[in-house]
Structure formats: structure tokens, C-alpha cells
């Protein structure tokens, strides 16, 4: 196959990109998107600050644009993200105890309920662990305790029963203390029947990233009976160094049956959150980079 999406589809996987609603009308952006990708995620438009700027007042405009764009082109949508320590609105800061818990559940009901049936996978909780494998001391952790993550997953299951529910994090690019903390949480959730279906490996990488245990890490999660997804892939660098890291990540996903898809955190270096690192598959003029060819060849089994 000669596009990323079609090549990934040969093995039942998706190939997605994070997108910004305002750029969907840009011809260069949308033509590359439409040609190469078959899954979308909102880079910012579905986050708490964007969707519930005031309590119980929901604003779905940007997210709706993305969901409608995907629906009319047969693309799937990842939902990102319901509960995160960053990009939540100011009103959340002032809540405590039970009120904060009710606000979190209300947010999940409102947002996951609005797009019920239209989201392939939700990042229910994002970045809740520290590098050493302990829980990040977010306002949710500090004010609600360990139980907030499972409360969020249960609320998400109720709000959108058919969406796959993911835990999503970064620096989980191998078997390390952080990924082991997450692994232990998934083991516990599976043992106690807390709903969780997938783990997202963000994979914000560089050309020097050591990926020697990347595949083993995907495999140990998939052996627990959850899917794994590469959710925010980007690799700083250029040329063959960058291409090799993209190739290794793609190979690892292809080698693990339950690795169901790859999303890059943007389309073009022009609009990347780390543009100075030129981390994406298309350059600032939407030309295919060496990394693009490495990913395409790997998806095609080469």
C-alpha cells in the first residue's frame, strides 16, 4: 500500500494524527491528512479547559468539528483526554473532596456522553504517574486519593460503554520504573474488575532514544489482556537517525498483535508542539521525510 493508513489497515491497524480544528480548512493540511491517515485525535480540543470552561457549561465546537470531519471520511477518533493534571479550567482548582469527585464524574459524563458511540478509544486518565513509578501528586491525587483513577474509568464505562478505555502516559518507552507502576495498576484493575481496555504509550522520542525494551514493554501489557496503542509518537531529529527510531517503534507495534494502532502527534513539522525538533513525518512544506518511508515500508512488512 502506498499511504500510511492503507498500509496499517493491511494488518487491521489504524494510523492516526493529532489535529487542530482551525487547520482542517487548510488545503495542504487536509489533503495530507485525508491521503495518509485514517484516525484522528484532538491535540487540544477535547481537553477539560476546552470542553467545560465553566462548571456544567459544555463547549463542544472544536471537538465536534473533528468528529464530523472523521465521520464523513470514514476515519476513527481517539478521545484525548478526560482527566489530566494540566489544561483543566480554573474553577476545578477551587474544589475539594467530594465536590471535586462529583465535578470529575460530571465532566466525564458530559464529554464522553456527548460523543457516545463516536470515539474508538478514550484516554480516560493521562499522565498520572511519576518517573519513579509512584502516583503524580496532582490535585486529583492529593484531594481524592488513589481511587480517583478507577472512579474515572468506571464513570467513562457508564458514559460510553462501547469505547475502549485507555490509560495514557509518556516516558513509558521500555520496561522502567514508570511503566512498571502503570503495569501494576493494570494488574490490580484487571484483578478487581475495574474497567480498562488499553494503555497508550505516548512515545515523545528523540533520535537517541534507547528502545531496547520497547517491544517487551508493549508485550507485557498485552499479555495482561489489554490493547496497547502508540498515541502521541514524535521523534526529534532528522535523516536516518530519526527514521531508525520511527522504524523501531513501528516494528515493535507490528510485532505485538494487541498493538492496534499508531498516532503521530501532528502531521507536519510546521505545526508541531516541538517544531524546533522537526519531529514529524512531513516537513514544513508537507514533503515526505526519510522517516515517512521507514514507517511506510515497515507497515508494509518490509
Specify the residue, 14 or 88, whose C-beta has the smaller distance to ligand G3I: 88
Scan residues 5-34 and list those touching ligand G3I (CB under 6 A). none
Specify the residue, 107 or 219, whose C-beta has the smaller distance to ligand G3I: 107
- As measured in angstroms, the least distance from the Cβ of 34 to ligand G3I is 21
- As measured in angstroms, the least distance from the Cβ of 19 to ligand G3I is 11
Measured CA to CA in angstroms, residue 259 lies from 23, 26, 176, 195 at distances of 29, 32, 19, 19
Question: 224-258: string of b/e by CB count within 10 Å (b at 16+)?
Answer: bebbbbbbbbbbbbbeeebbbbbbbbbbbbbebeb
Check binding of 87 to ligand G3I (CB under 6 A): yes
Site map for ligand G3I, 168-207, x if CB under 6 A? --x-------------------------------x-----
- As measured in angstroms, the least distance from the Cβ of 36 to ligand G3I is 19
* Residue of minimal Cβ distance to ligand G3I: 273
List, in sequence order, every residue forming a beta bridge with 79; answer none if it has no partner.
Answer: 122
Specify the residue, 135 or 274, whose C-beta has the smaller distance to ligand G3I: 274
Residue of 220, 248, 222, 219 whose CA lies nearest to 233: 248
User: With contact defined as beta carbons under 8 Å apart, do 167 and 186 qualify?
Assistant: yes
Cell of 256: 505485538
Cell of 21: 480544528
Check binding of 43 to ligand G3I (CB under 6 A): yes
- As measured in angstroms, the least distance from the Cβ of 204 to ligand G3I is 6
Secondary structure in 3-state letters for 59-99? CCHHHHHHHHHHHHCCCEEEEEEEEECCCCCHHHHCCCHHH
Scan residues 215-274 and list those touching ligand G3I (CB under 6 A). 232, 273
Q: Catalytic site residue 232?
A: yes
Residues near 300 by Cβ (< 8 Å), separated by ≥ 6? 1, 7, 10
- As measured in angstroms, the least distance from the Cβ of 78 to ligand G3I is 11
Catalytic (active-site) positions: 232
- Residues near ligand G3I (CB under 6 A) are 43-44, 86-87, 126, 170, 202, 232, 273
Amino acid at each position: 500500500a502506498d499511504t500510511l493508513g492503507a498500509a496499517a489497515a493491511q494488518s487491521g491497524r489504524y494510523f492516526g494524527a493529532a489535529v487542530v480544528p482551525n487547520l482542517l480548512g487548510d488545503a495542504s493540511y487536509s489533503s495530507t491528512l485525508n491521503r495518509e491517515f485514517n484516525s484522528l485525535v484532538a491535540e487540544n480540543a477535547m481537553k477539560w479547559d476546552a470542553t467545560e470552561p465553566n462548571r456544567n457549561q459544555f463547549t463542544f465546537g472544536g471537538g465536534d468539528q473533528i468528529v464530523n470531519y472523521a465521520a464523513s471520511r470514514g476515519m476513527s477518533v481517539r478521545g484525548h483526554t478526560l482527566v489530566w493534571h494540566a489544561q483543566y479550567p480554573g474553577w476545578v482548582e477551587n474544589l475539594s473532596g467530594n465536590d471535586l469527585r462529583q465535578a470529575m464524574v460530571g465532566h466525564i459524563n458530559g464529554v464522553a456522553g456527548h460523543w457516545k458511540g463516536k470515539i474508538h478509544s478514550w484516554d480516560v486518565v493521562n499522565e498520572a504517574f511519576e518517573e519513579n513509578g509512584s502516583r503524580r501528586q496532582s490535585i486529583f491525587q492529593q484531594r481524592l486519593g488513589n481511587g480517583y483513577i478507577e472512579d474515572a474509568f468506571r464513570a467513562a464505562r457508564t458514559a460510553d460503554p462501547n469505547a475502549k478505555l485507555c490509560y495514557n502516559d509518556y516516558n513509558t518507552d521500555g520496561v522502567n520504573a514508570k511503566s512498571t507502576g502503570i503495569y501494576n495498576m493494570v494488574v490490580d484493575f484487571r484483578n478487581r474488575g475495574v474497567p480498562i481496555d488499553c494503555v497508550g504509550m505516548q512515545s515523545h522520542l528523540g533520535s537517541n532514544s534507547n528502545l531496547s525494551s520497547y517491544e517487551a514493554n508493549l508485550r507485557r501489557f498485552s499479555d495482561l489482556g489489554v490493547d496497547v496503542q502508540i498515541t502521541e509518537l514524535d521523534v526529534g531529529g532528522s535523516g536516518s537517525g530519526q527514521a531508525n527510531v520511527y522504524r523501531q517503534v513501528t516494528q515493535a507495534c507490528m510485532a505485538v498483535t494487541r498493538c492496534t494502532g499508531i498516532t503521530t502527534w501532528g502531521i507536519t513539522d510546521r505545526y508541531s508542539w516541538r517544531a524546533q525538533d522537526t519531529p514529524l513525518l512531513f516537513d514544513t512544506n508537507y514533503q515526505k521525510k526519510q522517516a515517512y518511508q521507514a514507517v511506510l515500508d515497515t507497515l508494509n512488512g518490509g
